[in-house]
Amino acid sequence: MCAGMQRGRFISLEGGEGAGKSTQARRLAERLGADGREVVLTREPGGSPGAEAIRGLLVEGEADRWSAVSETLLMYAARRDHIERLIEPALERGAWVICDRFLDSTRAYQGAAGGAPMALIEALELDVVGAVTPDLTLILDMPVEAGLARAAGRAGAEGRFESKGHGFHERLRAAFLHIAEREPERCAVLSAEGDLDAVAERIWAVVAARLEVAGG
């Protein structure tokens, strides 16, 4: 990083299926960029060409296509490429990065809900992610039934995780809430229910307060 250049900020959005993360990530990026900030909007799995190639392996196909351990390894292969090629360079040049899912999704989906050993996930997190952790993680929470009903209305082939059983999604929701409870300085839980504008305002209030953002 050049002398005098301030490192960018990193915000991740997390939550279960149908919580509206992608829509709210886009709206937040637009709002943060409205006063001239460089904002990079990205997603996981994906965000770089190599990671996007791996994404198709993870989100398409039958629910039992991969074991939780295999999923974890694929997720971290994608995440490393994403960090190296997009996230870290953006933060280094002072951009704000808004990411639709990041490391907490692996903890929740593959770990708590899927059964992959947390020791494996923690070891990969340490070596692959290192210090590139979000400054703020917004966890969009809503009842499982409502989220799955929303997700069912989406078009496309990326329905592999939605097709996992109801118990999986209940464990997933509990896992995200547990992460927030353990790391309150990084995480904020917000209701994803209500109209898009209401959710966007809840998000902006947290971002403005936690990261001292003015205006918007």
> Domains of the chain (ranges plus CATH)?
10-211 (3.40.50.300)
Task: Summarize the confidence of residues 35-43 as an average pLDDT.
Answer: 95
Those residues whose C-beta lies under 8 Å from the C-beta of residue 92, and which sit 6 or more positions away, are 1, 7, 8
Kindly report the backbone phi and psi dihedral angles of residue 20, in degrees, each rounded to the nearest multiple of 5, phi listed first. Answer: 90, 20
Binned at pLDDT 50, 70 and 90, residue 216 comes out as low
pLDDT (tens digit, 9 = 90+) per residue, 155-166? 455 567 777 778
Give the chain's end-to-end CA distance (angstroms, integer).
Answer: 28
More confident residue, 154 or 182: 182
Mode of pairing for the β-strands spanning 136-141 and 96-100: unpaired
pLDDT attached to residue 155: 47
Question: The tokens of 83 are what?
Answer: 């960090």
> Has residue 215 got a pLDDT over 80?
no
Q: Cis bond leading into 45, ω under 30°?
A: yes
Give the mean pLDDT of the chain. Answer: 91
pLDDT attached to residue 156: 58
DSSP state of 84: I
pLDDT (tens digit, 9 = 90+) per residue, 59-112? 888 888 899 999 999 999 999 999 999 999 999 999 999 999 999 999 999 999
pLDDT attached to residue 90: 98
pLDDT attached to residue 152: 73
pLDDT attached to residue 66: 92
pLDDT (tens digit, 9 = 90+) per residue, 126-172? 999 999 999 999 999 998 777 777 777 664 555 677 777 788 889 99
* C-alpha 37: how far from chain center: 21
d(CA 2, CA 82): 22
- The Cβ-side half-sphere exposure at 16, using a 13 Å CA radius, reads 32
Q: 208 and 35 in contact (C-beta within 8 Å)?
A: no
